Structure 1
């Protein structure tokens, strides 16, 4: 195992190490050539698993990309603190993974020219050239692209329903919010599991207004994605939109009718999924690819479970009103190149070539599934079956979050639910509602946005739970505006005008 992996493992276990002491930091040298002719690359990266991978897959990646890669892994739980420390102490690497683009230190560093602007170079490399203009724009800061964007699924959410329960209560797959409400009511009142007890409900939700049911449902009611901007450049937050109030009313009616788990406001995601898998509810709103995990969790508990995924629900029944919110406009962060490490254009282009190579199908396969015959088998249709889940989790899974691109490849999971989820998620992209403020700068939002949002989140829950009325909710919005919201809006409007000329 390489020296830096051992140190990274210590990081992952919570040891108090300075970033500058990790292999791959500024002290370990800049990009150049190693003794075997490979390009030496240090990479300050985020670790989303309990421990770093072994060298098994890494060796293959290095062979294909002709690179000698040294990782410095930062545990995801401490990424904000450690990235801030790294920026402040200038202990960076040739490549730095930046996933918290709304962090004020990160945005200030990007705007201050700490990292190379890469926009002018993308078209020199075939895989980088294929990055769409919408993606480039969304990943830019004040109109400039300071790294290669992590290309994620643009809109992955939808509704997962117990198809076997639908058949039991005699209802079709819902296409409108009213029909979905009737399904929730039937799942609560008509004993869909046939055990003679009134122990089921419609929705199984969790304490998350974004990745739980609320934001997806709000898409169906026409709510914008975080912010809206009109032709004159006027910016409005989503919670001042009529669709937001309609969504609160909808969830309030679900709650009052008992058609959603009554503790949804304090339920964790793991409990939500376990409860659904145990047959306590029949509707799950979230990432469509969660369906595979839900069915796996149900094995031995709800063996008769059959799931159907729905991505075309509207509140009006009109196809023209179809919409789904986008998480981060399909941007998962940036692979950025600090000027302190990457001294000239020639070094930058070597690193851009490396990232270009990471986007190939061959390397994507390694970072997603591992090595054929060792970690997986594949059929003639390029459908993959993992051979040993434990081995895959140890040697392959830690690389997954480091893939610069996650979609558009032929090789795919063999699981039928995953195949269907991927198809629906790809279809979602045509109806995705993007956040128009995603790439723009509001200093007040960067410094106070999260704290201010708590006012709206609390008021939203209180409204749904029947503790306050509409006037009190509007008073909370007024409080948000007075405490800094008006300043955020003014800053976004100025930033939008600067970039768009409006």
Structure 2
């Protein structure tokens, strides 16, 4: 039996256009039968509102392979990553959704409210019925849940991917070692700026490149090296403190301001996009980049621009006490594959879609979405190393699917690029040092309603402090403004939710 043809949505990829919807008629011309029987052998046709992390959508090469493997027909609506917040929140508010929706902004107010409102199916009771989904660890399910309800299949990610990439050739030229402390890192940033690391006799290099994303810029990573809590701190009595109201956050502010003031941090970081930050690094204008996962991309981008570039990933920087901390992105959860009840009208449809997601967790599907077709896009060397053999074809056919894998941790590939393999190993090592956000499985109604707007107060104050536009007192006033505008209520609500989760009255 075939499931009925679904509504199809076409999302324009132009930021200035609103979401456009194109509806196709229902296959049987009637409403879904709530008592429809689940047929695991049915041909599944569905729509998927998905995030695009590349410049262009993929070709149909891998899509066709996935459809064949999963007995399905997939109608993708791709939303560019740069505009995902606007597009996804607009889609949620208007109800212009698809059968499967990729949700990555788990702390976004609109997203949290939509999940809590019952807009999506709670898939928690169903996961254990599928061979791959049942293997999702309980701690991942808990971290992805809201008040005990799991409103989608969690994207399984590494616990903590953060770290730095440094120009190893510059370190060697200047006689410097890979830094192990924040003081050593500061000296590297100074030397990369002042000591002509590229040897061209010009004052044209800067230590830290950065971008206008407080969470994924250097600041959050440096903050965790200082021992700042990840998002929130909670003490033995259940008292919550936001990260930006801690001494360690203030230490990071002072450190970052010193970098900026002395020219060791790019002057335009507050208005720099990620792609521009990468280009600065690839062109040899900066020597420190935040994000170990991007090491291969940076090497590829530098081809023809930088001769002799050698990179080294770094994951362990201490504040001098020999201890290591690194912030965890969502406690190993990268978002949800969610199923709106407005589109998925019956339990039978939900089960068939869950079967599809379960199939995506098979190694065959994982390899399609990671490497593509063996012999055409990649090969496995004699030592077991994975190697892309046609970079341009891989980027066109495969790369856009990599971020859509339900899990990036289920299978491990040995990368033929030793620097990338080292970065992969350091990311796995980060599990030992990961600092979790205690509010991930908790809920605050005020944060759902105002959290995104309130965060802008702190983000703006942080950037202004780094650039010397605010002093200590000015930043403290911004924190107080956050508290007065709703932050205090958020704190109290998290404390109450935490107490409930701990079984305390």
Do they superpose with TM above 0.5? Answer: yes
Report the CA distance between 1:92 and its aligned residue.
Answer: 4.4
Maintained 8 Å contact 1:154/1:326? yes
Maintained 8 Å contact 1:326/1:433? yes
3-state SS in 2 of match to 1:156 = coil
- For 1:392, the equivalent position in structure 2 comes to 394
- For 2:48, the equivalent position in structure 1 comes to 43
Question: Mean alpha-carbon deviation: is it higher for 191-200 or for 307-316?
Answer: 191-200
Unpaired runs of 5+ residues, structure 2, are none
- For 2:294, the equivalent position in structure 1 comes to 290
3-state SS in 1 of match to 2:455 = helix
After TM superposition, the structure 1 = structure 2 runs for residues 330-349 of structure 1, keeping only pairs within 5 Å, are 330-349=332-351
Distance 2:464 2:28 in 1: 49
Give yes or no for the alignment of 1:102 onto 2:107: yes
Q: Which has the higher helix share?
A: 1
Question: Mean alpha-carbon deviation: is it higher for 252-261 or for 240-249?
Answer: 252-261
Classify 1:81/1:190 alpha carbon distance in 2 versus 1 (closer, same or farther; 3 Å).
Answer: closer
Q: Find the partner of 1:237 among 237, 242, 245.
A: 242
- For 1:373, the equivalent position in structure 2 comes to 375
Report the CA distance between 1:4 and its aligned residue.
Answer: 9.9
Report the CA distance between 1:371 and its aligned residue.
Answer: 1.4
Distance 1:344 1:79 in 2: 28
- For 1:113, the equivalent position in structure 2 comes to 118
Distance 2:305 2:116 in 1: 53
3-state SS in 2 of match to 1:157 = coil
3-state SS in 1 of match to 2:200 = coil
Q: Find the partner of 2:135 among 115, 130, 139.
A: 130
- For 1:189, the equivalent position in structure 2 comes to 194
Maintained 8 Å contact 2:315/2:430? yes
Question: Mean alpha-carbon deviation: is it higher for 334-343 or for 290-299?
Answer: 334-343
Give yes or no for the alignment of 1:383 onto 2:423: no
Question: Mean alpha-carbon deviation: is it higher for 3-12 or for 42-51?
Answer: 3-12
Maintained 8 Å contact 1:203/1:259? yes
In the TM superposition, what whole-angstrom CA distance separates every residue of 1:320-369 from its partner, at most 9, and x where no partner exists?
A: x2110122223222112334444554443333222111011110111122
Report the CA distance between 1:28 and its aligned residue.
Answer: 10
Question: Mean alpha-carbon deviation: is it higher for 10-19 or for 489-498?
Answer: 10-19
Question: Mean alpha-carbon deviation: is it higher for 76-85 or for 456-465?
Answer: 76-85
Classify 1:161/1:100 alpha carbon distance in 2 versus 1 (closer, same or farther; 3 Å).
Answer: closer
Classify 1:107/1:27 alpha carbon distance in 2 versus 1 (closer, same or farther; 3 Å).
Answer: farther
Q: Find the partner of 1:312 among 295, 312, 316.
A: 316
Classify 1:44/1:269 alpha carbon distance in 2 versus 1 (closer, same or farther; 3 Å).
Answer: closer
Distance 1:351 1:388 in 2: 33
Question: Mean alpha-carbon deviation: is it higher for 354-363 or for 205-214?
Answer: 205-214
Distance 1:442 1:478 in 2: 19
Report the CA distance between 1:41 and its aligned residue.
Answer: 4.0
Give yes or no for the alignment of 1:264 onto 2:266: no
Question: Mean alpha-carbon deviation: is it higher for 359-368 or for 443-452?
Answer: 443-452
Question: Mean alpha-carbon deviation: is it higher for 275-284 or for 364-373?
Answer: 275-284
Unpaired runs of 5+ residues, structure 1, are none
- For 1:145, the equivalent position in structure 2 comes to 150
Classify 1:204/1:15 alpha carbon distance in 2 versus 1 (closer, same or farther; 3 Å).
Answer: closer
Classify 1:478/1:344 alpha carbon distance in 2 versus 1 (closer, same or farther; 3 Å).
Answer: same
Maintained 8 Å contact 1:204/1:275? yes
TM-score w.r.t. length of structure 1: 0.88
Classify 1:176/1:105 alpha carbon distance in 2 versus 1 (closer, same or farther; 3 Å).
Answer: closer
- For 2:353, the equivalent position in structure 1 comes to 351
Classify 1:57/1:195 alpha carbon distance in 2 versus 1 (closer, same or farther; 3 Å).
Answer: closer
Distance 1:295 1:76 in 2: 22
Distance 1:15 1:468 in 2: 37
Classify 1:24/1:443 alpha carbon distance in 2 versus 1 (closer, same or farther; 3 Å).
Answer: farther
Give yes or no for the alignment of 1:300 onto 2:292: no
Report the CA distance between 1:178 and its aligned residue.
Answer: 1.0
Question: Mean alpha-carbon deviation: is it higher for 302-311 or for 332-341?
Answer: 332-341
Q: Find the partner of 1:411 among 407, 410, 413.
A: 413
Distance 1:355 1:218 in 2: 36
Give yes or no for the alignment of 1:425 onto 2:438: no
Question: Mean alpha-carbon deviation: is it higher for 143-152 or for 181-190?
Answer: 181-190
3-state SS in 2 of match to 1:126 = coil
Maintained 8 Å contact 2:157/2:334? yes
Maintained 8 Å contact 1:12/1:51? no
Give yes or no for the alignment of 1:21 onto 2:34: no
TM-score w.r.t. length of structure 2: 0.88
- For 1:484, the equivalent position in structure 2 comes to 486
Distance 1:436 1:25 in 2: 46
In the TM superposition, what whole-angstrom CA distance separates every residue of 1:267-303 from its partner, at most 9, and x where no partner exists?
A: 333332222222233222x110222222223233321
Report the CA distance between 1:226 and its aligned residue.
Answer: 1.2
Distance 1:105 1:397 in 2: 29
Report how many residues are paired: 497
Over aligned residues, Cα RMSD in angstroms?
3.2
